[in-house]
Amino acid sequence: MSATAPNGSAEQSELPGSVMSREMAEQPEMLHRILDSGASRIRETAALVAARKPRFVLLTARGTSDNAALYAKYLLEIRLGMPCGLTSMSTTTAYEARPDLRDVLVITVSQSGGSPDLVASTKAAREAGAITLAVTNNPDSPLAAVSEYHIDIMAGPEKALPATKTYTASLLALYLFVDGLAGGDGAAAKDLPGLAQSLLDRQDEVRTLAARYRFAERMVITSRGYGYPTAKEAALKLMETSYIPALSYSGADLLHGPLAMVGNVSPVIAVVPDGRGGTALAPVLERLRERGADLVVFGTAEQVEQASAGFVLPTEDVAEELQPLLEIIPLQLLAYEVTIARGQNPDAPRALAKVTETH
């Protein structure tokens, strides 16, 4: 048994992991709140930005928010054919470069909106002519103040050091924004809250998988397409809670050298989207099976059956672009359960702060 379940009682509130557990459990309600109360405002912001006709997009973030920004990059490039890049903040904050950003949309994603380098980078971008949009959990933050536009992800206070609900909230807010840029109404996301709850209700399955990694010294997590940001975020969660070195690779990159480190019984987690990303990942999974890797799949029933073990995701009727909001939930649970199994406290990972003050 784990120390607590995501819907843990007040009696369990002092046990290790209770804060992270509670915040994971809030995700279905949070997703519903965004769809019910925030979607129309996000579409209004999208319409204002679309009217400015940006030439391309730059995305700025750190840590978990960086993985959410990567998801937005896939959305913007695939759905809108809009060129996107991930910024190198030190070019403006450390090297004081001032690129010409006229008619460029700069989206900065930050849970707190308080990181000095994000604020400085966004301020410099706006001064260089960019259309600036902040996506934060704090509309009163310094980042929101220096940005021309702001989207509130409406996740509510997040007290656990490992970000969980703010990640899924960021994904949904970014999806609704891009969908709004494309003239959509966000209807495809309506079933997400119920599906998220169904995943949380399967924690016992995740706990069984977590036992495989109690003594793990290293892990590899891989995916392709829309699943790649999920792989990166899952690796980050495992590293910052359980301290297991977890390396995340695109399946294509994994085949270009790093596959050599994967041998017999090497632990590998594959996030297999139900769609083109999963199809592109299939040759990688075959190579991993050939090498005898301990392959655990989070994805379709077909791929789980061919792996050493796995977790079937309820994505049959979910658009591939929305699947990352579901893929990450059992992987958050996995990070939590692995950490508890190793006798550690996911609420208090060492050397981790909510606001990273890099310059």
Residue 359 pLDDT more than 50? no
Cα dihedral 285→287→293→296 (10° resolution): 0
Residue 181 pLDDT more than 80? yes
For residues 99 and 112, membership in a common domain is answered with yes
For residues 66 and 167, membership in a common domain is answered with yes
Mean pLDDT score across all residues of the chain: 91
Structural domain includes residue 264: yes
**pLDDT bucket at 6, cuts 50 / 70 / 90:** low
Please tell me the predicted confidence (pLDDT) of residue 354: 58
Q: Which of 189, 207, 228 is the last residue of a domain?
A: 189
Q: Which of 156, 189, 222 is the last residue of a domain?
A: 189
- Main-chain phi, psi angles of 323, to 5 degrees: -60, -30
Predicted structure pTM score: 0.92
Number of domains in the chain: 2
Structural domain includes residue 244: yes
Q: Containing domain of residue 207, as a range?
A: 191-341
Under 8 Å between Cβ of 284 and 255: yes
In angstroms, rounded to a whole number, what is the distance separating the alpha carbons of residues 176 and 338? 33
What single DSSP character describes residue 34?
I
Average pLDDT over residues 146-171: 96
Q: Comparing C-alpha atoms, which of 45, 148, 54, 146 is closest to residue 104?
A: 54
Per residue in 204-238, pLDDT (tens digit) is 999 999 999 999 999 999 999 999 999 999 999 99
Per residue in 323-342, pLDDT (tens digit) is 999 999 999 999 999 999 99
For residues 232 and 335, membership in a common domain is answered with yes
Q: Which of 174, 189, 204 is the last residue of a domain?
A: 189
For residues 197 and 317, membership in a common domain is answered with yes
- Main-chain phi, psi angles of 58, to 5 degrees: -115, 135
Residue 204: CATH number of its domain = 3.40.50.10490
Residue 167 exposure: Cα atoms within 13 Å on the Cβ side: 31
Please tell me the predicted confidence (pLDDT) of residue 265: 66
**pLDDT bucket at 245, cuts 50 / 70 / 90:** very high
AA letter at 46: A
**pLDDT bucket at 83, cuts 50 / 70 / 90:** very high
For residues 94 and 216, membership in a common domain is answered with no
AA letter at 48: L
| Euclidean distance between the first and the last CA atom of the chain, given in angstroms as a whole number | 43
For residues 81 and 154, membership in a common domain is answered with yes
For residues 134 and 233, membership in a common domain is answered with no
For residues 64 and 164, membership in a common domain is answered with yes
For residues 60 and 179, membership in a common domain is answered with yes
